[in-house]
Structure 1
């Protein structure tokens, strides 16, 4: 597994796909390529990789649900968002590289109109778009700016945690669904009693999560959240 992650890193790839019965593939500049000289991966190899990455509890969930979202760190080099799943009754794994450095709003070209939201005292900021459009990276840059520049309490609720925000000028507490809390709903209810100024909701998946997110925004908090949509009308 180490040599596959190294190949991804050395070739500026964004994604790594591991499927039993086929060669490992990486995504470079939006296109998938088989890693040169690689051979089809065995079920035993994928099982060993997942055993090394998953806790016993996560492994049980993966086998029961036949899929699992999680994240992990590769030494001090990088962090990955991962989805383990089954296809043709065989294990598979998709990895997305998360940059180790949190980008600044300037580095991602955040418009001035959006940057002005970072100093708001309260309200709801929705980051919308299809998968891979940069929602997580944009929110990470915005939370990173607040962390560096405002003396506030930030709570993030994610599944899984992607970017890690060490406290700087702000106090940052990050909660991962399934590890630090049972659900988005539970964490949002608790957040109302945890004196937050800023709350990041990784994904609004259901009606109760949406209602609690709106309640936070209406009660004097600055709330950031994402929605998976393809266009403005869907949003």
Structure 2
């Protein structure tokens, strides 16, 4: 039987980001983006995995899991770390996945994030700011670093709705209220319905998972609040597509108009393995809403947005490919990692080839 506490401590010490348990298998670990089987440990039986799951659930969580067959939760190992946990059923047995959530809130500099662009967005007092990326891209960590910056730089009243709460914030210059679905409120829709009555300057929606969350976020931004959220998309252009296409077709023009007026920025993120394979660096795509972006949105020419990003360095904008090229030029990542994470791999490969041969592309 695996000692879950010792294994989680080792996970944090070795910089392992995720661990997965299922019956009749070794624990699976994700290290710097790669999956590794912990075959030095015994295979886990169905009963072993069940025991681990019930060790970390409280009574209320166990009842919810037994009712819904799915559970999202947070788990704390005192003084070590917090973990985001998903418990589920598979092949009539229990499985679970845990992700490390650092105890410390990091600064932009510590996370190798685009400092000037984020500080520029941090000067906004109203509107919608989204943090986009696939699972494991670090978008929640980046959003919480941004929230910590707001908390430290401004005197705001901040209200969050999260499922679950991953990072705990304490008041600095701002006062911050964090509400967790299932513990502090019955549901996202219920919390979002009442959130504007709580006198917030800043509203944080943990994730824009569905139409209701999107509509609530846009409405809050339109009524003079600063709204932060994460969204599960590949890049900034796909973020626009997701926000618009999630609405009924007859509302698409209206949604584009709303976004043109209330959107302040989108921060896209991908985590890229370092040259030595011992860490990962964030590659960022930054969109700042301006008259050019607004015009493309209103005209429905979302494909043209990428061209605006490429030429928008003055406004703090950049594409993923531009940032990947920067990381390559600085020697932080190799050419394969850059091309593998590129939006337009062939174009980036030509640009890298041009650098190595001294030929401009």
Query: Fold conserved (TM > 0.5)?
Result: yes
For structure 1, the 5+ residue unaligned runs are none
Deviations 1:109-151 (A, max 9, x none): 3322232111211111011121111110110100011111211
User: What whole-Å deviation, never above 9, does each CA across 1:35-88 have from its counterpart, x for those lacking one?
Assistant: 353111122222222222212222122123222111111111100001111121
Identify which of 149, 153, 168 aligns with 2:153: 149
Match among 15, 18, 28 for residue 15 of structure 1: 18
Which consecutive aligned stretches of 4+ in structure 1 deviate over 3 angstroms post-superposition?
A: none
State yes or no: 1:196 paired with 2:169: no
What residue in structure 1 maps to residue 248 of structure 2? none
Matched, 1:182 2:181: no
Larger RCO of the pair (alpha carbons < 8 Å, separation 6+) = 1
Task: Give the structure 2 partner of residue 3 of structure 1.
Answer: 6
Instruction: For 1:196 and 1:97, locate their aligned partners in 2 and report how far apart those are by CA, in whole Å.
Output: 29
Aligned match of 2:163? 159
5+ long unaligned stretches in structure 2: 240-361
Distance 2:81 2:36 in 1: 21
Partner of 2:66: 63
Displacement, 1:153? 0.8
> Alignment RMSD, CA only?
1.5
Distance 1:209 1:6 in 2: 35
Question: Does the CA contact (< 8 Å) of 1:12 and 1:28 recur in 2?
Answer: yes
Counterpart CA distance in 2 for 1:36 and 1:23 is 6
List aligned pairs for 1:28-39, cutoff 5 A.
28-39=31-42
The answer to whether the 8 A contact 1:105-1:115 is kept is: no
* Equivalent position of 1:228 in the other structure: 232
The residue number in structure 1 matching 2:174 is 170
| Mean Cα deviation higher: 27-36 or 2-11 | 27-36
Is 1:214 aligned to residue 246 of structure 2? no
CA 1:208–1:30: 2 relative to 1, 3 Å: closer
Pick the structure with greater CA Rg: 2
Which of 96, 99, 105 is equivalent to 1:96? 99
**More helix by proportion, 1 or 2?**
2
C-alpha distance in 2 between matches for 1:53 and 1:80: 11
CA–CA distance in structure 2, aligned partners of residues 138 and 28 of structure 1: 19
Once the two structures are TM-superposed, the CA of residue 231 in structure 1 deviates from its matched residue by 3.1
